[in-house]
Structure 1
Amino acid sequence: MTYLIRDAIPQDALCIGVLGMQVFLDTYATEGIRTSIATEALQAFAPQTIARLISEPGIALVVAESGGHLVGFAQLKLRAGHPLIPGPDVAELQRLYIQERFTGRGIGYQLLQAAEERARLGGATLVWATVWVGNERALGFYPRRGYELLGSPTYTFQGETHENRLFGKALTITAL
């Protein structure tokens, strides 16, 4: 099966939102749904939120499509520093979401490569991502793709604090 990797367009907002919510809940609602998880999912993946991200300068949303269906996406923010990473020329991979039935097919790697390329084109010399400590698959994925462990920050949403791992990868600058 072939997958088309492309930049998101405004018409993708609804599908990205639903896909994002599905993957978010599969990943983080491992003990069921509670108010904080439900609120975060509804806010983060509302179609209007995604539409705003698609049009926002400094944000890149890249989707994986198969037969006209979205199966994954990557969300990158340029010039997004982190207290554990020095320098202004860094980009944050905010999300790399693949629908469960499409994992293990190389889609995550293709989306990651596309996000890294957009980071390079945006002037970034390093891409970083935080991964929740309960996400074993992602904790193994990033080191296999050349990312180094840079720290163990926490992330707080809806009044709850969660332990994470911070990964980073230096980008090689290609000569024109």
Structure 2
Amino acid sequence: MANIKIIKATIKDLDQLQKIGRQTFYETFSSGNTEENMMKYLDEGFSIEKLTTELNDENAEFYFATLNGKVIGYLKLNFGQSQTELKQDKSIEIERIYVIKEFHGKQVGQLLYDKALEIAKQNKSVFVWLGVWEENPRAINFYKKNGFVEFDKHIFKLGNDEQTDIMMKLKLQG
């Protein structure tokens, strides 16, 4: 998979972002949720309005993983006040790393993750944190393997279903 490129997404990539966002979220979570809750979340969470706001937010960045020009995964980072919790200047939140199912296990997620760490270090962040659904062992194991530790939990609403996210963080060496 040597030809994978990580590129920063801009407002021009809105349609691509909506497409990859919806597809990967659906692939990742549809089996564990009702169709109704999935559709509600996809409509709200990946609406043109919401994505436009996020792409225009100077404290948020999106990156695509592309293979031969096709977007196969993406990363969303939040800084400062745009973090969903812990709004600390010295931390960065990885809000999303998603990869199309057919590319799971092919290091795409790792490349996006490596990009996140590179940016965290450039920003002199003290730690990186994220929330991961407690019923997503693949993701939890990935982050544990990369040195993350659990430090808290929070509730994530998917449609009318309250789910528990495990909050994990990685301290960066100064």
TM-score by length of 2: 0.87
Once residues 31 and 107 of structure 1 are traced to their aligned partners in structure 2, the CA distance between those partners, rounded to angstroms, is 23
Gap regions ≥5 residues in structure 2: none
Alpha-carbon distance change, 48 to 153 in structure 1, aligned in 2, over 3 angstroms: closer
Equivalence for 1:41: 42
Contact in 2 for aligned 1:63/1:70 (Cα 8 Å):
yes
1:151 paired to 2:160: no
CA shift, 1:32, in A, is 5.8
Give the aligned length.
171
Q: In the TM superposition, what whole-angstrom CA distance separates every residue of 1:66-111 from its partner, at most 9, and x where no partner exists?
A: 11100000001002273xx695421211110000011111111111
CA shift, 1:150, in A, is 1.4
Equivalence for 2:96: 95
* SS of alignment partner, residue 167 of structure 2: strand
CA shift, 1:19, in A, is 1.2
* Aligned-residue RMSD, C-alpha: 2.1
Once residues 9 and 87 of structure 2 are traced to their aligned partners in structure 1, the CA distance between those partners, rounded to angstroms, is 30
TM-score by length of 1: 0.86
Equivalence for 1:14: 15
* SS of alignment partner, residue 153 of structure 1: strand
Equivalence for 2:170: 169
Alpha-carbon distance change, 157 to 122 in structure 1, aligned in 2, over 3 angstroms: farther
* SS of alignment partner, residue 75 of structure 2: strand
Contact in 2 for aligned 1:60/1:118 (Cα 8 Å):
no
Once residues 52 and 87 of structure 1 are traced to their aligned partners in structure 2, the CA distance between those partners, rounded to angstroms, is 21
Gap regions ≥5 residues in structure 1: none
Counterpart residue identity of residue 77, structure 1? N
Greater helix content: 2
Equivalence for 1:29: 30
Equivalence for 1:160: 161
Contact in 2 for aligned 1:124/1:171 (Cα 8 Å):
yes
Aligned identity (percent) is 20
Once residues 13 and 90 of structure 2 are traced to their aligned partners in structure 1, the CA distance between those partners, rounded to angstroms, is 29
Once residues 86 and 14 of structure 1 are traced to their aligned partners in structure 2, the CA distance between those partners, rounded to angstroms, is 29
CA shift, 1:119, in A, is 2.7
